[in-house]
Amino acid sequence: MIRGFFIMVTFFTRIPIGGWVHYNDTAYKKGLFTFPFVGLVIGALMCWPFLFSSMSSEIRALMIVTSYVFISGGIHLDGLADSADGLFSGRERVRMLEIMKDSQIGTFGVIALIMYFLFFFVSVKSVPWLWVLYMPFVGKAMGFIAASISGYAREDHGMGYVFIHEISGIQGFVMTVIILGGIYLGLGLQGVFAAGGALMAMLMVRHVALKRIGGQTGDTIGMTIEIVQMVFLVMGGIVWAY
């Protein structure tokens, strides 16, 4: 599982440890349960601007957003854009899946990314560092839970298939307990409230994916992760203000 965790890090971040880890299917599958904890690594590395107390909130927010893109490599942002293009295209299921697989970005994908970064920049200005630390963990944990309660929408068996197919409902339940317990210890009831909103957002995205394409793909899980993160941050900014 430890080797699997480092494989997760190499797949879902730009942290240069790929030369130390050799991929194999068994280690990848065993490491899937550690996927949400990659979010804690990303979150910790995103918190560096809080070390500079004299930094303005606008510059700090810009540095945090930029750090997120560089550390994560934008892998889930690609899923957000592709899923927005496909799911909101108004086409039939097969065509939606084709659009999502197309490497070119469309209008809905551009709109989704613009809205995402607007919410990200504004929200991260008003929350303490612990919310930034937890943000990628919450997103990836909710993506993990979504995969545990969903089927795969495509006929091919790519990496998205392995991710969705191999995560069991029991693992999803255990991860739900872990995330709620961890957030309560770090952020208290405010954090649990925000995590509850993130859970609702995950279920809504899952509902749309199931209704329109009959299941989940790697792209829709990426969309889930990014939307959940923003809901968590926005609700964090709201509850922290009060």
pLDDT above 90 covers what percent of the chain? 71
pLDDT above 70 covers what percent of the chain? 98
pLDDT of residue 195: 94
Q: Which string of DSSP letters, residue by residue, matches 60-123?
A: HHHHHHHHHHHHHTTHHHHHHHHHHHHHTS---HHHHHHHHH-SS--HHHHHHHHHHHHHHHHH
Helix (H, G, I), strand (E, B) or coil at 140: helix
Return the higher-pLDDT residue of 4 and 48: 48
Return the structure tokens found at 202.
């995950």
* Mean pLDDT score across all residues of the chain: 91
pLDDT of residue 28: 82
Return the higher-pLDDT residue of 24 and 142: 142
Query: How many angstroms separate the CA atoms of 27 and 186, rounded?
Result: 30
Cα 229–35–221 angle (5° rounding)? 50
- Which residues face 152 on adjacent strands? 216
Does residue 241 carry a pLDDT above 70? Answer: no
pLDDT class for 18, splitting at 50, 70, 90?
Answer: low
pLDDT by residue (tens digit) across 175-208? Answer: 999 999 999 999 999 999 999 999 999 999 999 9
Q: Are 127 and 106 in contact (CB under 8 A)?
A: no
Weakest mean pLDDT among 9-13, 20-24, 149-153, 214-218:
20-24
Q: Are 215 and 95 in contact (CB under 8 A)?
A: no
Q: How confident is the model over 101-106, as a mean pLDDT? A: 87
Task: Residue count of the chain, please give it.
Answer: 242
Does residue 1 carry a pLDDT above 80? Answer: no
Q: Are 186 and 130 in contact (CB under 8 A)?
A: yes
pLDDT of residue 44: 96
Query: How many angstroms separate the CA atoms of 132 and 128, rounded?
Result: 7
